[in-house]
Amino acid sequence: MSRGVSLETKQRVKEAIDIVELIGRTIPLRRQGRLFVGLCPWHDDTHPSLQVNPERQSFKCWVCDIGGDVFTFVMKMEGVSFPEALRMLAEQAGIPLLPTGRGEQSPSEKPDLYKAMAWAESQYHRCLLESPEAEPARRYLADRGLLPETIRQFRLGFSPPGSAWILGRSGLGSPPAPILEKIGILVRPSFGPGWYDRFRGRLLFPIRDWQGRPIGFGGRVLPGVETPQPAKYINTPETPLFVKSRVLYGLDMAREGIRRTKHVLVMEGYTDCMMAHQMGFDHAVAVLGTALGEEHLRILKRWAERIILVLDGDEAGQRRASEVLSLFVSQNLDLRILTLPEGLDPCDFLLQKGADVFAQMLETEAVDALEHAYRTSTRGIDVRQDIQAANQALEYLLEIVARSPRLREDSPRQRLLREQLLLQRLAEHFRLPEQLVRDRLTEVRRTLRDRQERAAARRRAGATTPAEASPGRLDPLEREVLTLMIRFPHLVQRIQQEFPAEAIRHPWARQIYWTSSELAEAGQPPDFHRLLLEFDEPELQNLLVELDEEGLTKDIQDPLAFLEDLKRSYFRRTTQVQALVRSPAPGPEMTGPQDEQQWLRQLLERQRLRHGIASPTEGAKPSSETSECNGLPR
DSSP string, 99-115: B-SSSPPPPPSHHHHHH
What is d(CA 50, CA 310) in angstroms, rounded to the nearest whole number? 31
Position 571 pLDDT exceeds 80:
no
Coil, helix or strand at residue 143: helix
**What does residue 585 show for φ and ψ, rounded to 5 degrees?**
-60, 130
How many angstroms from the chain centroid is the CA of residue 72?
13
pLDDT confidence tier of residue 230, bands split at 50, 70 and 90: confident
Has domain 476-571 been given CATH number 1.10.860?
Answer: yes
To the nearest 10 degrees (0 to 180), the angle between helices 387-402 and 434-462 is 50
Mean pLDDT of the chain: 79
What pLDDT, in 10s, does the model give residues 160-192? 988 789 988 866 668 899 999 999 999 988 777
Position 125 pLDDT exceeds 80:
yes
What pLDDT, in 10s, does the model give residues 474-525? 778 888 888 888 888 888 888 888 887 777 878 888 888 888 888 887 777 7
* Burial (0-12, 13-18, 19+ Cβ within 10 Å), 20: middle
**What does residue 594 show for φ and ψ, rounded to 5 degrees?**
-65, -40
Q: Which CATH superfamily is domain 7-93 in?
A: Zinc finger, CHC2-typedomain (3.90.580.10)
Neighbours of 323 (CB within 10 A): 16
What is d(CA 22, CA 71) in angstroms, rounded to the nearest whole number? 10
Q: Which amino acid makes up residue 632?
A: L
Sequence-distant (≥ 6) Cβ neighbours of residue 589 within 8 angstroms: 595
Question: CB–CB of 370/422 below 8 Å?
Answer: yes
The pLDDT, as a whole number, for residue 471 is: 44
What is d(CA 436, CA 423) in angstroms, rounded to the nearest whole number? 10
110-242 shares its CATH topology with 476-571: no
Sequence-distant (≥ 6) Cβ neighbours of residue 385 within 8 angstroms: none
Task: Please give the residue that has the higher pLDDT: either 194 or 573.
Answer: 194
Q: Where are the alpha helices (DSSP H) in 46-133?
A: 70-78, 82-93, 110-130
The pLDDT, as a whole number, for residue 335 is: 87
The pLDDT, as a whole number, for residue 293 is: 80
Q: Where are the alpha helices (DSSP H) in 134-269?
A: 135-143, 148-153, 177-182, 251-261
How many angstroms from the chain centroid is the CA of residue 229?
34
- Sign of the dihedral through C-alpha 165, 168, 172, 173: positive
Position 215 pLDDT exceeds 90:
yes
The domain made up of 251-376 has a fold known as Dna Topoisomerase Vi A Subunit; Chain: A, domain 2 (3.40.1360)
pLDDT confidence tier of residue 159, bands split at 50, 70 and 90: very high
Domain boundary assignment for the chain: 7-93, 110-242, 251-376, 378-456, 476-571
Question: CB–CB of 532/510 below 8 Å?
Answer: no
**What does residue 367 show for φ and ψ, rounded to 5 degrees?**
-105, 160
What pLDDT, in 10s, does the model give residues 384-434? 888 888 888 898 888 878 876 555 444 456 666 777 888 999 999 999 999
Sequence-distant (≥ 6) Cβ neighbours of residue 508 within 8 angstroms: 471, 474, 539, 540, 543
Question: CB–CB of 407/419 below 8 Å?
Answer: yes
Sequence-distant (≥ 6) Cβ neighbours of residue 381 within 8 angstroms: 389, 390, 393
Closest CA to 559 of 617, 503, 495, 622: 495
The pLDDT, as a whole number, for residue 352 is: 94
3-state helix, strand, coil in the chain (%, to 5): 50, 10, 40
Neighbours of 99 (CB within 10 A): 14
Q: Which CATH superfamily is domain 110-242 in?
A: DNA primase, catalytic core, N-terminal domain (3.90.980.10)
